[in-house]
Amino acid sequence: MEWLAAFRHPSMLALLVVPAALLLWTWKRAGRAVVLPLDDSKIQHSRMAQFFLRCAESLPALALAVVIVILAGPQRWDVPRSKRALTNIEFCVDVSGSMNAQFGSGDRYTGAMDAINKFVDARKGDAFGLTFFGNNVLHWVPLTTDPSAVKCAPPFMHPRQLPYWFGGTEIGKALRACRKVLIEREEGDRMIVLVTDGYSSDLSGGADEEIARELIRDGITCYAINIGDVQPPDEIIRITSMTGGEAFNPDDPRGLEHVFASIDKMQRTRLEKTTAEASDDFGPWALAGLALLLLLLLAFFGLRYTPW
């Protein structure tokens, strides 16, 4: 009885017994005798004509059956669609004094923010958050799917404009702060993109592995971009590798853009199948009803029983 699920009101289908009874009566009843006003004439029965007459007389019952089916609300199940799975991406950007150093035609901070904005444009549909850190942490943009919030941030948080308490670099504190932001989001994947150019003492003494285990427990992947002339510290490499990410060391703005493109490829967008939904399917039945009515109209012009 699974086919009953294809109707909104399957109980209405019980009324189909009425047109079924009419059809049975039409085809089982005895044929009518036609009397012609001619003396000594012989009545010839044509089985072919009788068949077409009964077909024409069956049209009203069939039209009634179509009406009952339409009243029952026919439905069809749509094909399950693919929905883009949300990724929550928290940018953790270093704004210590060293980010003022030359990088291409500008400084490290400007180059990093330009690359972040291009990355945001390429990942439409994801949620982005922006955290700045030095010796302190500031969550500047909460996780949002509106990329304009991230794009408006660079002029306000340039290292040249910040107070002295943002001068140092405490990566461990910043990563833990970003973790707290991400675990508040139950939906979607979680990712941190760390952008820095320095070494952080709060990652030494096994703190890096402890932070990595916390990120792994909460399903957070960490990527690190070390802007500068030196390779990323071992602590950062350890955190990224343990969480399934990677550490990069671009030496110019173009290389930085390639790094974000690589992150985009490694953290590909997932597609999730949505549940199939039922929608009304009146079209075929309405066309069938119109066709029956048209045939009935044509039958009235000649293909009908007339007792004279």
Q: What is the mean pLDDT of residues 166-195?
A: 90
Residue with tokens 């979607």: 188
Q: What is the mean pLDDT of residues 224-235?
A: 87
Write the CATH number of the domain with boundaries 86-269: 3.40.50.410
| Residue pair 115/260 in contact by the 8 Å Cβ criterion | yes
Residue 43: predicted pLDDT? 54
Residue 7 DSSP symbol: B
pLDDT band, residue 24 (cuts 50/70/90): confident
Q: Residue 162 has which token pair?
A: 């910040």
Residue 173: predicted pLDDT? 94
H-state helical runs in the chain: 17-28, 47-71, 108-122, 148-151, 171-182, 207-217, 234-243, 253-266, 283-299
Bridge partners of 220, per DSSP, are 190
pTM above the 0.85 mark?
no
Q: What is the mean pLDDT of residues 144-156?
A: 83
| Residue pair 290/148 in contact by the 8 Å Cβ criterion | no
Q: What is the mean pLDDT of residues 231-237?
A: 90
Using the predicted structure, report yes or no on whether residue 237 has a pLDDT greater than 60.
Answer: yes
Of 223, 305, 207, 227, nearest to 262 (Cα)? 223
Residue 33: predicted pLDDT? 56
Using the predicted structure, report yes or no on whether residue 280 has a pLDDT greater than 80.
Answer: no
Residue with tokens 């910043």: 174
Write the CB contacts of 160 (distance below 8 Å, at least 6 apart in sequence).
100
Residue 47: predicted pLDDT? 73
| Residue pair 203/222 in contact by the 8 Å Cβ criterion | no
- Beta pairing class for 220-226 and 189-196: parallel
Q: What is the mean pLDDT of residues 174-201?
A: 90
Q: Where are the domains of the chain?
A: 2-75+280-299, 86-269
Cα torsion for 66, 71, 74, 75, to the nearest 10°? 160
Residue 38: predicted pLDDT? 53
Q: Residue 301 has which token pair?
A: 């012009």
Helical pair 234-243 and 207-217, crossing angle rounded to 10 deg: 20
Residue 271: predicted pLDDT? 47
Whole-number Cα distances in Å, 174 to 93, 185, 196, 304 = 9, 18, 11, 88
Between CA 87 and CA 104 the distance in angstroms is 31
State pLDDT tens for residues 74-118.
Answer: 887 665 555 556 789 999 999 988 898 988 888 999 999 999 998
Between residues 28 and 207, the one the model is more confident about = 207
Report the chain's terminal Cα–Cα distance, integer Å. Answer: 49
Between residues 216 and 106, the one the model is more confident about = 216
